[in-house]
């Protein structure tokens, strides 16, 4: 098997989500967008697919990095190809991102799964065929009836419990909301949710990223008193020592890192430094499924859980292949967003949740995405 073709199909679609000036996602008016599909084809006609952004898969990235490393190589040699791509990253002038690496690497996994009629989560070890989901809210906003007040969070939590979620994570208010960040308001929102769901329901807080140590400690103690299950990303994650300092002072488990650069190497530093009680990894954050599995296995070696950041086929596959995890992050949710609505470029969502709150691993070969190729072909722009 030899990689013969690497193509990016950019196509028109629509979205009901918009990003604020801090990059956080919120509901918005339906608008046109462009998406991108990477296709890798080998000399036996096997194909692997992976969705990404047109910017992350732009010709400069594909021609100068992905093709240089992948073309002519055996698509099954994922570790060799990923390492060689990672070596290019250092000299790429920050053009080759972990997220772009992840899209390219996941297309290799998808090709291998489709070629052998095997779901990727089974190739990764097939540890579980279903996983409980937690409802992960969007960041707070100032929308009437949205996530604008602690009561809004409490009401939405009641809805999520009725929908079947067995845990809930809040993302509270962050800039550019005019008065955010606010430790007091974060604690009020967490208290309203605790009140809404009762004393034993698992709750987590994913805070503002930019709090100071003292504010992060104050907030951590506040949610600790409310019996929260884990505390996530209250400070800039590039200060490992700040998280070691915080974790040392709190009973509530501190989880991370989510977005700190450095892949599985950074995660090794966090475990070694005792900067987290639960490790965090996501395919987009560390460059794909391979480095995610390395991170999860690292945590396992320390009897530590590793909770996966974000939804989607790649993260779900990692969860299906590892023992030391409990949840699938389903979201980001909002009262104005129907998470069960099927994106137009798919025939079905990859993470339907049953009435008991479980996501079942996909049965399709490869990553398991049920791609609507006709829709993509009809709206291809390049």
Ligand X SMILES: O=C(O)[C@H](O)[C@@H](O)[C@@H](O)C(=O)NO
Residues of the shown chain interacting with ligand X in the complex, contacts defined by CB under 6 A: 24-25, 136, 139, 171, 206, 258, 309-310, 329, 332
Q: How far is the CB of 290 from Mg ion (least distance, A)?
A: 22
Q: How far is the CB of 232 from Mg ion (least distance, A)?
A: 5
310 contact, one of Mg ion, ligand X, none, CB 5-8 Å limit per kind: ligand X
Q: How far is the CB of 87 from Mg ion (least distance, A)?
A: 29
Q: How far is the CB of 333 from ligand X (least distance, A)?
A: 11
Task: Report the residue closest to ligand X, judged by CB.
Answer: 24
Closest to 235 measured CA to CA, from 287, 183, 308, 169: 183
Of residues 220-259, those binding Mg ion (CB under 5 A): 258
Beta carbon nearer to ligand X, 13 or 25: 25
171 contact, one of ligand X, Mg ion, none, CB 5-8 Å limit per kind: ligand X
Task: Report the residue closest to Mg ion, judged by CB.
Answer: 206
Q: How far is the CB of 43 from Mg ion (least distance, A)?
A: 41
Beta carbon nearer to ligand X, 21 or 117: 21
Tokens representing residue 20 in the block: 């604020």
Of residues 204-223, those binding Mg ion (CB under 5 A): 206
Beta carbon nearer to ligand X, 309 or 334: 309
Residue pair 225/203 in contact (Cβ under 8 Å)? The answer is no
- DSSP codes joined into one string, 233-302: --S-TT-HHHHHHHHHH-SSPEEE-SS-SSHHHHHHHHHHTT--SEEEE-HHHHTSHHHHHHHHHHHHHT
Question: Can the peptide bond before residue 257 be classed as cis, meaning omega within 30 degrees of 0?
Answer: yes
Instruction: Please report the beta strands in the chain, taking only residues with DSSP state E, as ranges in sequence order.
Output: 3-19, 25-42, 47-52, 130-137, 168-171, 203-206, 230-232, 254-256, 278-281, 306-308, 327-333, 358-360
Closest to 358 measured CA to CA, from 106, 89, 167, 142: 167
Query: What are the phi and psi torsion angles at 40 (to 5°)?
Result: -110, 125
Beta carbon nearer to Mg ion, 105 or 206: 206
Q: How far is the CB of 54 from Mg ion (least distance, A)?
A: 25
- Contact positions toward Mg ion, by CB under 5 A? 206, 258
């Amino acid at each position: 098997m030899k990689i013969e073709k690497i193509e990016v199909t950019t196509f028109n679609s629509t979205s009901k989500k918009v990003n604020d000036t801090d990059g956080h996602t919120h509901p918005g008016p339906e608008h046109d967008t462009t998406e991108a599909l990477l296709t890798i084809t080998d000399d036996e006609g096997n194909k692997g697919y992976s969705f990404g952004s047109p910017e992350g898969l732009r010709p400069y990235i594909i021609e100068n990095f992905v093709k240089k490393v992948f073309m002519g190589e055996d698509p099954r040699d994922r570790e060799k190809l990923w390492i060689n791509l990672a070596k290019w990253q250092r000299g790429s002038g920050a053009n080759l991102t972990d997220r772009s690496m992840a899209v390219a690497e996941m297309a290799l996994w998808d090709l291998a799964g489709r070629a052998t009629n095997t779901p990727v989560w089974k190739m990764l070890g097939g540890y579980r065929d279903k996983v409980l989901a937690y409802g992960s809210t969007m960041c707070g906003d100032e929308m009437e009836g949205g996530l604008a007040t602690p009561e809004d969070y409490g009401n939405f939590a009641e809805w999520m419990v009725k929908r079947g979620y067995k845990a809930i994570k809040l993302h509270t208010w962050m800039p550019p909301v005019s008065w955010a960040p606010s430790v007091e308001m974060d604690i009020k929102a967490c208290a309203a949710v605790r009140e809404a769901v009762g004393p034993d329901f698992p709750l987590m807080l994913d805070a503002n990223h930019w709090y100071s140590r003292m504010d992060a400690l104050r907030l951590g103690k506040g949610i600790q008193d409310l019996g929260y299950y884990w505390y996530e990303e209250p400070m800039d994650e590039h200060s490992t020592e700040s998280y070691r300092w915080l974790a040392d002072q709190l009973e509530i488990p501190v989880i991370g890192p989510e977005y700190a650069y450095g892949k599985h190497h950074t995660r090794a530093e966090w475990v070694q430094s005792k900067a987290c009680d639960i490790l965090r990894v996501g395919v987009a954050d560390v460059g794909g499924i391979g480095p995610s599995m390395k991170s999860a296995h690292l945590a396992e070696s320390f009897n530590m859980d590793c909770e996966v950041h974000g939804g989607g086929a790649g993260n779900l596959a990692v969860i299906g292949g590892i023992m030391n995890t409990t949840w699938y992050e389903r979201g980001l949710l909002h009262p104005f967003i129907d998470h069960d609505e099927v994106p137009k470029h798919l025939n079905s969502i990859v993470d339907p949740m049953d009435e008991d709150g479980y996501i079942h691993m996909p049965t399709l070969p490869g990553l398991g995405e049920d791609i609507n190729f006709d829709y993509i072909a009809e709206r291809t722009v390049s």
